[in-house]
Structure 1
Amino acid sequence: MLLAIDIGNTDIVFGVFDNQQWIHQFRINSSFSVRSQDYEAQLRLLFLENSLKISDISQAIISCVVPDLRVVIKDMVNEMFGIQPILVGPEMYSILNMEILSPYEIGTDLVCNATYAYYTYRQTCLVVDFGTALTYTVVSGEGKILGVSIAPGLKTAVKSLFSNTAQLPEVPLKMPDSAIGKNTVHAIQAGVLWGYVGMVREMIHQIKLEVGQECKVLATGGLSSILTPLRAEFDEVDKSLTLNGLKIIADLYQ
């Protein structure tokens, strides 16, 4: 079995792959601890609750955009499973047979997204990742990452609004039927969520214009299903897309 770990700014996603599918996915908050032992205890409990055997994990791969957690989770994998995980990063990008834009700057999660898009479609793709940050990654049919655009993610935008405004509450991220708010919660949902629908739609339109050719548009991230009016804009919506990219990289590494 493969254990794929996507360490983001909000969550660490653990995916267990077997029999050509993700059989389990777990999330642990990225700020849960600074000690590998604490993450190990939490993951052992999750394995136990889901009848997974630690000895069945034969390979592990890590993408990390939180530098302080890179060594912590690497050490946890080594101690818990007795294996050295593959660390996605510039030192191993040559195995991808892709041209990575600014390899020491681009997030490894975006490289995973681009890898999945390239190896799956072999044509120009735009991957929209609805995470802590809202990112747009463009990869050509030849495997060249053409560029990235970044905006605050939905939760980041809402959190910024209520944390810096005395009388505005935190609100659930639920798509409202109307763009005209009838109360404070509805007003924030309308302004942020319908506003993001417009932003994402315009970004997709502008990127397609600049690419100047047929372009597959893929969506991923934990919040990718919230903006329901955008569904027709995407050729694929898959919350596991980054993990799928990790799986492809792990296969190439063998």
Structure 2
Amino acid sequence: MLLAIDAGNTNIVFGVHDGNAWIHEWRFNTLPIKNQIEYEVFLRLNFMENDLKLSDVDGIIISSVVPQMNGILAEFWSNLIECEHVFIGPKYYDQLPIITSNPHSIGTDLMANAMAAHCLYKTDCIVVDFGTALTFTVVEASGNIHGVNIAPGLKTAIKALVGNTAQLPEVPLELPASVIGKNTVHAIQAGVLWGYVSMVEGMLDRIQKEMGRNFKVVATGGLSSVLTPLHERFDEVNRHLTLDGLRLIHERLK
């Protein structure tokens, strides 16, 4: 079994792949950073509750965009699992079939997205990742990562709005039926969520116009299911795309 660990700014995702499919996925809050024992206990309990054996893990791959966690992520599992691990970073990029001109500037999660898009779809792709940040990764059929766009994610935008105003409440991420708010909560929901629908539509149109051709559009990330009107603009919603990228990177490096 492969254990993939994807540490983002909001959640750490732990995925277990049995060689055919992702059979389990668990999320742990990234902040505040816990000590090594807490991560050990979390992993051990989830394996026990799902009748999995830590001894069956024969590979570990780790992606992290949170540098202050890297030391813990590289070591916390060592008392539980005896196998080699890969902590992906720029030193491995030249061994992959994807190409980036700025290896030290692109996040390992975006590299995983690009790897999955290139290997799974084998065509020009735009990966829209709805996470702490909203990212658009443009990957050409050749494997060249043409570029990336980064905007605040949905939760990040709402927290910034609420945190910098005196009277606005934090609201649930629920898309209202109307684009015109009828009360304060609906006004925030309409402004942010329908605003993001328009932003994603506009960004996809502008990217494809600038590139001069159509791209396959794949959405991923924990919040990819929130903006349902966008689903007709997506060719696919793949919530495991980043994990699949990590799995494919592990296979290539192995």
**Could you state the TM-score of these two structures normalised by the residue count of structure 1?**
0.97
Q: Deviations over 1:54-113 (max 9, x none)?
A: 111110000110011112111012232122311111111122122123101100000000
Runs of 4+ in 1 over 6 A off after TM superposition: none
State the distance in 1 between where 2:101 and 2:64 align: 17
Q: For the residues of structure 1 that align with 2:198 and 2:248, how far apart are their CA atoms?
A: 33
1:138-173: CA deviations, max 9, x gaps? 011110100000000000000011111111111000
Q: Secondary structure at the match of 2:222?
A: coil
SS of aligned partner of 2:9? coil
Aligned to 1:222: 222
Counterparts of 2:98 and 2:155, CA distance in 1: 32
Query: What one-letter code is carried by the residue in structure 1 that aligns with 2:92?
Result: M
Match of residue 67 from structure 2: 67
- Residues 77 and 84, structure 1, Cα contact 8 Å, conserved in 2: no
User: Which one-letter code corresponds to 2:9 in the other structure?
Assistant: N
Instruction: State the alpha-carbon separation in 1 of the partners of residues 79 and 233 from structure 2.
Output: 44
Given that residues 178 and 190 in structure 2 are in contact (C-alpha distance below 8 angstroms), is that contact kept between their aligned partners in structure 1? Answer: yes
**1:166 aligned partner:** 166
Q: Counterpart of 1:157? A: 157
- Give 1:98-177 correspondences, 5 Å limit: 98-177=98-177
% of aligned pairs identical? 54
The match for 1:209 is: 209
Could you tell me whether the CA contact under 8 Å between 1:128 and 1:134 is conserved in 2?
A: yes
Cα displacement (A) at 1:32: 4.3
Structure 2, gaps ≥5 residues long: none
User: AA paired with 1:212?
Assistant: G
- Residue identity opposite 1:236 in structure 2: E
Report the AA paired with residue 44 of structure 1.
R
Structure 1, unmatched stretches of 5+, are none
Are 2:16 and 1:16 aligned?
yes
RMSD (Å), alpha carbons: 1.0
Inter-CA distance 44–32: structure 2 relative to 1 (3 Å threshold): farther
List per-residue Cα deviations over 1:220-252 (Å, max 9, x = no partner).
000001001100111110111100101111111
Deviation for aligned residue 1:45:
1.2
Counterpart of 1:96 in 2: which secondary structure? coil
Q: Residues 77 and 83 of structure 1 are in contact (CA less than 8 Å); yes or no, is this contact kept in structure 2? A: no
The answer to whether the Cα contact below 8 Å between 1:78 and 1:85 also exists between their aligned partners in 2 is no
Structure 1 residues 30-45: aligned runs within 5 Å: 30-45=30-45
Q: Is the 8 A contact 2:113 2:241 kept in 1?
A: yes
Instruction: Tell me the CA shift for residue 34 of structure 1.
Output: 3.9
Secondary structure of the residue aligned to 2:95 is: helix
> How far is 1:19 from its partner?
4.1
Structure 1 CA distance for aligned equivalents of residues 125 and 214 of structure 2: 9
1:85 matched to 2:85:
yes
2:74 and 2:101 map into 1 onto residues whose CA distance is 25
Deviation string, structure 1 residues 10-46 (Cα, Å, up to 9, x no partner) = 0000000014100000000011434222111111111
Residue type at the aligned position of 2:79:
E
CA distances 1:172-227 after superposition (whole Å, capped 9, x unpaired): 00111001111111111000000000000000000011111231101000000100
